[in-house]
Structure 1
Amino acid sequence: MTRRRWIADTWTLREDRPATAALTGEQANHLARVLRAQPGQIFDVVAGGFLHRAEVTTVSPESVEFLMHEELEADAALPLRLYLAIFKFDHFEWAVEKATELGIASITPVLARRTEKHLAQAAMKRVERWRRIAHEASQQSRRTDIPEVTDPIALKLALEQEQSPTRILLSETEQATTLSSALEAHPRVQTAIAIGPEGGWTPEEMTLFAQHTWQPVTLGPRILRAETAAIAAIAIASTHLG
């Protein structure tokens, strides 16, 4: 039977003493009250990006502590950064969850020209919720890390900061170059993918992408919702980057 996996809230990893870790808050409460964990039980615990077999030492609704044993083999995140223009929050949150499950390394919410004004204004207040969703999805999908969910950022600044060797823009106007063919030309390197809001990128934004050498690609003839495009793109990219 597969052991339940948890991502530690705090940990101590030192060579001169046994490694320890702890769950706090909602995780501890769930493990203590719902699952009724007891000292001596064994779980898989991720701490500092490393996966360990871990033994429960103390249990309370506020904190569950572990003694870490041997390090276990684990898969790394995809070398893939997602730039996702902000759209309706319930759809956006679904995209965050599924992108996490598929192994994305980071998610950057982007304030685009066609991002609805009330969503742009409220986005900063939603970031912690998006990070909790990523945390829970990482745990559920048995990842050994949690993707970084950055603060929302204006598109121009995001493009100025991104330095991935391969930078790919999903574009409704591109008809020839597919995502697969673009990735085949640059296999297994750090890659950034940008996905626009409802209504797509404006011509001015497309020019901005071109100035920063982002390559436009297509996912095919169908027009996809932003969250569907995100998941399709990550799934395709994983076959080239995984």
Structure 2
Amino acid sequence: MTRRRWIADTWTATTASLTGDQAVHLARVLRAEPGQIYDVVSDGFLHRAEITRASEDEVLFTLHEELASDANLPLHLLLAVFKFDHMEWAIEKATELGIAKITPILARRTEKHLAQSAAKRAERWRRIALEASKQSRRTDIPEIADPTPLKSALESEKSPTRILLSETEQTLTLTTALKAATSSQKETDTAIAIGPEGGWTPEEMTLFTHHQWQPVTLGPRILRAETAAIAAIAIASTHLI
């Protein structure tokens, strides 16, 4: 039987603790008791762990042997902010697929009320990523950055491979671009940008060109942003793992 996995809120070299909602759920709902064994992710490492003290305020584990775990996908998704219910779904599924980082982008065509509310949503997006990480048995949690204007995000991006999903590109596919990138360089860190409803403005496209992003296509169909995100991550995973 597969042991349930938890992601520690605090840790030392030999112990890990769950607090807040995690502790309440484990202590109250699952009736945690000293001596029970679970898998616990602590400081990015997976351990077999034994409960030594359990209450609704804190569940304390003693860490035992380190277990084998999978690395995350070296992929940074720059995702223009769109309807929040669809955005949440995209973050959840991207987390399940192993994404390393998501930056919500405030684009020129991001709806004004969404842009104004995005900062308040960031913590909710991080909670969604945490729960999706536990559900999918990841050993880490993807970084969910604060909503960022496009210009600032492009200026700070360090990934050697930078790919822009573009409705104007008709011939170069994502698969072809990734094959070329992975065969010509040792580093696999990759960034993929997906625009808002209505697409990127000409000025934004110029910014991407200035920062050396490669436009690609996912095919002839016009996809919703959340569909494009999941399709792109799935394709990238075959080249980056």
TM-score range normalised by the length of the shorter chain: over 0.9
Unaligned runs of 5+ in 1: 14-18
Matched residue of 2:33: which SS?
Answer: coil
Q: 1:29 aligns with which of 19, 24, 27?
A: 24
2:207 corresponds to which residue?
A: 208
Quick one: which amino acid aligns to residue 92 of structure 2? Answer: E
Which of 48, 68, 83 in structure 1 is aligned with 2:63?
Answer: 68
CA distance in structure 2 between the aligned counterparts of 1:65 and 1:165, rounded to whole angstroms: 41
Give the Cα separation in 1 of the matches to 2:123 and 2:26.
22
Return the offset for 1:62.
Answer: 1.1
Q: Distance in 2 between matches of 1:120 and 1:239?
A: 33
After TM superposition, give the deviation of residue 68 of structure 1 in Å: 0.2
**1:121 maps onto 2:120 in alignment:** no
Write the deviation string for residues 128-167 of structure 1: whole angstroms up to 9, x where unpaired: 0000000110011000000000111100111011011000
**SS of residue in 1 equivalent to 2:127:** helix
2:172 is aligned to 177
The one-letter code of the counterpart of 2:64 is: H
1:4 aligns to what?
A: 4
Partners of 1:62 and 1:11 in 2: CA distance:
15
Q: Aligned AA for 2:213?
A: W
Detail structure 1 runs of 4+ shifted over 4 Å in the superposition. none
Q: 1:44 aligns with which of 14, 39, 44?
A: 39
Deviation at 1:186, TM superposition (A): 1.6
1:57 corresponds to:
52
Provide the aligned C-alpha RMSD in A. Answer: 0.7
| Ranges in structure 2 where 5+ consecutive residues have no aligned partner | none
1:34 to partner: Cα distance: 0.7
Q: Name the aligned partner's letter for residue 178 of structure 2.
A: L
Superimposed CA distance per residue, residues 58-79 of structure 1 (whole angstroms, 9 cap, x where no aligned partner)? 1101110000000001001111
3-state SS of paired residue (2:73): coil
TM-score, structure 1 length as denominator? Answer: 0.97
- Determine the C-alpha separation between the residues in 2 that align with 1:196 and 1:84: 7
Q: CA deviation at 1:226?
A: 0.1
> What does residue range 73-92 of structure 1 map to in structure 2 within 5 Å?
73-92=68-87
Task: State the identity %.
Answer: 77
Equivalent-residue separation in structure 2 for 1:94 and 1:101 (angstroms): 11
